[in-house]
Amino acid sequence: MSLPDLTRPAPVSLRTAFWYWLKLGFISFGGPAGQIAMMHAELVERRRWISEQRFLHALNYCMLLPGPEATQLAIYIGWLLHKTRGGIVAGILFVLPSLVFLIALSWIYMAYGSVPAVAAVLYGIKPAVVAIVLAAAWRIGKRSLKNGALIALAAAAFIAITVFHLPFPLIVAGAALVGLLGGRYWPALFQVGGGHPGQAASYGPALIDDDTPTPGHARFSWPGLARVAVFGCTLGVVAWLALALATGAHQPLAQMGWFFTKAAMLTFGGAYAVLPYVYQGAVTGFHWLLPAQMIDGLALGETTPGPLIMVVAFVGFVGAWSKAVFGGSLLAAGAAGASVATFFTFLPSFLFILAGGPLVEATRDNIRMTAPLTAISAAVVGVIVSLAVFFGMHVFWQETPAPHLDLRAVLLGVMASIALLRYQVGTIKLILACAISGLVLSYPG
């Protein structure tokens, strides 16, 4: 075992950081766990831009916030290194490659999705999506459901959304209220621990080390919070007003701006948690896309780098394309829809880190502050299971030529679930294998 390098790294320029964040945007496959692991290996172990404890401290910030934690972690580290501009650069480059890929894939899907070969690939991928959602529920459940009270909360959330069809925001609000009361009267039930498992390791002195004083720009102050919050909220309002004036307040692009802003506030527990809300709004509320298209979009989102919540770009693309918001220019309409959905989904994440990061740090270990989030995380597990049930009904039960259970799809789903849960097969490998299976099963003769 080699000894750690005892020399402190030289200061990192914004240009050097720019190229790292751009590279990360192109290779960040594997969901939030994989993305966080990549950043740890590169920034803590190899480059030593930030120490192990400071990295985990930043991660704890992001685990307490709604939104994609890996993206927020990138924003936070970029902000800590190079102030506000560093956070903006890190966040944009983490998301931009995924947006470009999804616009291209969404165009292929909408323009050529009815081609038999493409349809066959999607037939194989859809059961994999059901397995992926179930695996997500299992992973989050293992981390979140630490006692009977939290398991009961997850079951109640499942029944609320599946049987009584309560809206997702109401379920989140109810869980938060339960957590608020629980943190006050039964704190032991909502003290499940934070952070990620693993002991801190020494890789040598880091540029931002355990004993490095908090930079001036990262210290909390009410005027600083107000300035950033007002600027960010103004930016969002001005962007929405521009869409409303250009296309109409009740037209799809303006509707998407407001809808995805609300969705961004509900992403406690990761992208899978907010998908039921996106489904309720995009499919049954605004009719931007069909249930089958939502499943296909999740499959495409799993095959691209970047945060999984980028499936909103697919929803925006298909919605704007289907509604022909620019008349005959369908590709331009789709690209605009994808960009609008992405902008309004991620703007709150920038604000949470750039404005509220220091405030979250000050309250991170307060059980009365963290208990509502613990309760929300438990409820999210039930909501994700309901999403898997919904997807399964559409994938495994076919109405044509007569109502029947598609046994081939069921078999693919079972095999995909075993591959994920038992053998820990990567998502990309699983989707490729199921896509090939779909081609083979759909081959005539």
Query: pLDDT per residue over 299-325, tens digit each?
Result: 788 778 888 889 999 999 999 999 988
Asked if the model's pLDDT at residue 32 lies above 80, the reply is no
Q: Is residue 373 part of a domain?
A: yes
- The answer to whether residue 58 sits within a structural domain is no
| Residue 251, phi then psi, degrees to nearest 5 | -95, 165
In a domain, 376, yes or no: yes
Q: Which domain holds residue 327?
A: 98-198+221-442
**Does 8 map to a domain?**
no
Whole-number pLDDT of residue 94: 94
Query: pLDDT tens digit string along 167-222?
Result: 777 888 898 899 889 888 888 888 754 444 344 456 788 888 877 777 777 788 88
> For 210, what's the count of Cα atoms within 13 Å in the CB-facing half-sphere?
9
> Do residues 94 and 26 lie in contact, with contact meaning Cβ atoms separated by under 8 Å?
no
Give how many domains the chain has, as a whole number.
1
Contact 442, 125 (CB under 8 A): no
Distance between CA atoms of residues 60 and 72, nearest Å? 11
Question: Is the distance from CB of 103 to CB of 335 less than 8 angstroms?
Answer: yes
In a domain, 403, yes or no: yes
**Spatial contact of 412 and 129, defined as CB atoms under 8 Å apart:** no
Place of tokens 């945060």: 307
User: 344 and 261 in contact (C-beta within 8 Å)?
Assistant: yes
Give the 3-state DSSP-derived string for 6-71, with helices as H, strands as E and coil as C: CCCCCCCCHHHHHHHHHHHHHHCCCHHHHHHHHHHHHHHHHCCCECHHHHHHHHHHHHCCCCCHHH
Distance, CA of 27 to CA of 271 (rounded, Å)? 19
- Contact between residue 112 and residue 285 where contact means Cβ atoms under 8 Å apart: no
- Asked if 409 contacts 396 with a C-beta cutoff of 8 angstroms, the reply is yes
Q: Is the peptide bond before 401 cis (omega within 30 degrees of 0)?
A: yes
Q: Does residue 233 lie in a domain region? A: yes
Mean predicted confidence (pLDDT) in 137-155: 86
pLDDT tens string 319-374 = 999 998 887 789 999 999 999 999 999 999 999 999 877 776 566 556 676 788 78
Q: What pLDDT, on a 0 to 100 scale, did the predictor assign at position 377?
A: 77
Q: Is 4 inside a domain boundary?
A: no
Query: Average model confidence (pLDDT) for the chain?
Result: 84
Q: Where are the alpha helices (DSSP H) in 210-326?
A: 222-247, 252-264, 271-279, 291-302, 311-322
From residue 202, give the alpha-carbon distance in Å to each of 52, 60, 211, 274, 328: 8, 19, 14, 37, 59
The pLDDT score that the predictor gives to residue 272 is 67
Residues 394-426 pLDDT 10s:
889 887 777 889 999 999 999 999 998 898 887
Q: Is residue 389 part of a domain?
A: yes
Q: How many CB atoms lie within 10 A of CB 136?
A: 25
**Cα–Cα distance, 224 to 187 (Å, whole number):** 33
Instruction: Report yes or no: 347 and 262 within 8 Å, Cβ to Cβ.
Output: no
Say whether pLDDT at 383 is over 50.
Answer: yes
Other beta carbons within 10 angstroms of residue 97's beta carbon come to 20
**Positive or negative torsion for Cα 284, 285, 290, 295:** negative
Q: What is the pTM of this model?
A: 0.75
